[in-house]
A and B are shown apart, each in its own frame.
Chain A
Amino acid sequence: MTTVLAPVAGAAVGLEAVPDPVFSGGLVGAGAAIDPAREPGRVVAPIAGKIVKLHPHAFVVVGDDGRGILVHLGIDTVQLRGEGFELLAAEGDRVSAGQPVVAWNPAEIEAGGRSPVCPVVALDAEEGTVSALAEGRVCAGDELFRWG
């Protein structure tokens, strides 16, 4: 059982609320999404493990059991080429659950015409293994869902 933490503060919503069919259609995998508070914030690691990929707009943490979680900061934010994101960790770093990885400001993302919604995806999760999805307001580091 993996407990996955909310990487950002905001409102927990379903993946189907993400305005990108790659995520809302479950193509990447099961999980949840957070409509983030529109204020500067730090994005934290959803699980303990190694940052196997770190882009300014997205990162993947893999736990010791080999399970990976993708955190994507906003939609189409790859187009920003890192502008507005500050890296607080490095690719290859080991992080504890709740440790800050990136700083950003969802209000700026939205002002730039993009959705700041953050999909949090259990990569390669088998069907029906993601449960206990949080609803409503969450703080960064609160439990977001479980991966059984």
Chain B
Amino acid sequence: MPERQVTVKAEVGLHARPAATFVQTAAKATLEVTVAKAGGQPVNAKSILGVLSLDVRQGDTVVISAEGEGAEELLDRLADIASAP
């Protein structure tokens, strides 16, 4: 399955604005998208509850996965959001 592994650079981690933007972008896609902390259980990337519960901090590595038509483009966008400072 296509995936991206990125390090979260935002000071707040994947919370607040980065989390909301990440989930909104994922939710617009028709594909199934998951996000996990490296080595952890994946959660639905379209769920703000799921993403906030992951508790991704600055410097953590996350793995974003999706499969299907347009997965690569979607993963690139999500990786950009997750890794934005």
Contact = CB atoms under 8 A, between A and B. Distances in A.
B12 interface: yes
Contact of A62 (B17, B19, B48, B49): B49
Contact of B17 (A22, A29, A52, A68): A22
A22 B16 CA distance: 7
A28 B49 contact: no
B17 A60 contact: no
Given A78-B15, A78-B16, A124-B47, A27 B52 contact: no
A6 interface: no
Contacts of A68: 49, 52-53
Interface string B25-54: 000000000000000000000011100110
B11 to A, nearest CB: 8
A68 B52 CA distance: 10
Contacts of A53: 52-53, 55
A27 B20 contact: yes
A53 B16 CA distance: 14
Main DSSP-derived SS at the A contact region = strand
A94 to B, nearest CB: 16
Interface string B50-74: 0011010000000000000000000
B21 A52 contact: no
A45 interface: no
Contacts of B49: 60, 62, 68, 123-124
B48 A29 contact: yes
6 contacts: A52-B53, A60-B49, A78-B16, A123-B48, A123-B49, A124-B47
Interface of A: 22, 27-29, 52-53, 60, 62, 68, 70, 78, 123-124
For the complex of A and B, 8 pairs with smallest distance between CB atoms: A27-B20, A68-B49, A123-B49, A22-B17, A123-B48, A28-B20, A52-B53, A124-B47
